[in-house]
Amino acid sequence: MAESTSVRINQDLYELARQDAALEHRTIAGQIEFWARIGRAALDNPDLPVSFVAESLASLAEPREQAQPFIPRSSRGK
């Protein structure tokens, strides 16, 4: 298990994290960590849309047994 550290954050940010965490089935800490990973990845890849970065990180967190293989449109129906 990863170590944890307490951090003080603005109450408004906490409330936003609480709301989004409930929608995304994450803990509040998990939601803030997700936002931080998106921010870091977006800064590291300024040419990519933030929505793409967020969706990519979310898909990496999904259980592999639920993953569906990618089939390019050009290959479908052949």
Write the pLDDT tens digit of every residue in 5-54: 898 999 999 999 999 999 989 999 999 999 999 999 999 999 999 999 98
In a domain, 24, yes or no: yes
In a domain, 18, yes or no: yes
Asked if 32 and 17 touch (Cβ cutoff 8 Å), the reply is yes
Structural domain boundaries enclosing 51: 11-59
Q: What is the number of structural domains in the chain?
A: 1
> In this structure, which amino acid lies at residue 51?
S
What pLDDT, on the 0 to 100 scale, is given for residue 77? 62
Separation between Cα atoms, residue 29 and residue 17, nearest integer Å: 8
In a domain, 53, yes or no: yes
Asked if 26 and 34 touch (Cβ cutoff 8 Å), the reply is yes
